[in-house]
Structure 1
Amino acid sequence: MGDKGLGSSRDYESLKMQCEKAMAEVQGLLKQNMEITRKYENTMKEVDYYRKQERAAYTALQNLRMQYEEVVAEKQKLEREVTSLQTIMEDDRKEIADLRRQQQCTMPWESEHEVLHLEYFPLGTVHHEAV
């Protein structure tokens, strides 16, 4: 019976050591699991933060696109106004040139002598001297 008791004792000690080894391994795995869980939670917080940042950036981008479209529309409107004003200005120049030509054609004095004569002898003085 002594051998059986010894064998049992060895088996018990062997099983006890295996159990302690397994418990230590379980403790290590639990510690590893807690560390992985903590890292996962931190990563999820970062994901949430960057997701919010992405949404804010996307919203800002949409606002910039709308502002850009408004600026482009305003630019096109101003370009049309500039073109219209240039056309009006060119038409006015042509009209002024035509009026000058008409004025030159309808003036009773066309020669330089008559113009000079009028400068030195205004109509009022010529009539005054004749009286």
Structure 2
Amino acid sequence: MTVRLNAISIVVADMGRSLAFYRLLGLAIPAEADSQPHVEVDVPGGMRLLWDTEATIRSFAPGWQRRGSGGMSLAFAAEDAAGVDKMYAQLADAGYHGELAPWDAFWGQRYAVVHDPDGNGVDLFAAL
């Protein structure tokens, strides 16, 4: 039996707040999704990104508790180094916490890290 990664799921405290963050990253998420308990969008490459409210998770796992991201993050590629700087500035201007300001990483990328509203790491990068 073989498996393939098909979706990444994010548990959120506030659906609308979380989706607003990911819209700034360019994801096409309909406005009516803000009030839904579960949201899915297709992303380029055949993957899906899913969001579930904490209440949705607790509806089938009553003892569920937030564990944090545990070192995992989502990584979004920009077209170029200037795109990383622009996206980082846009997110910071919108009030999102930057963990690592854009810098030229030794591995050959312009690289930055911000946190989504639930504290998950979101990497921004582009080849130098």
Pairwise same-fold verdict (TM > 0.5)? no
TM-score of the pair, normalised by structure 2: 0.13
User: Which is helix-richer, 1 or 2?
Assistant: 1
Between structure 1 and structure 2, the one with the greater Rg is 1
Quick check: which one's strand share is greater?
A: 2
Greater relative contact order (Cα < 8 A, sep 6+): 2
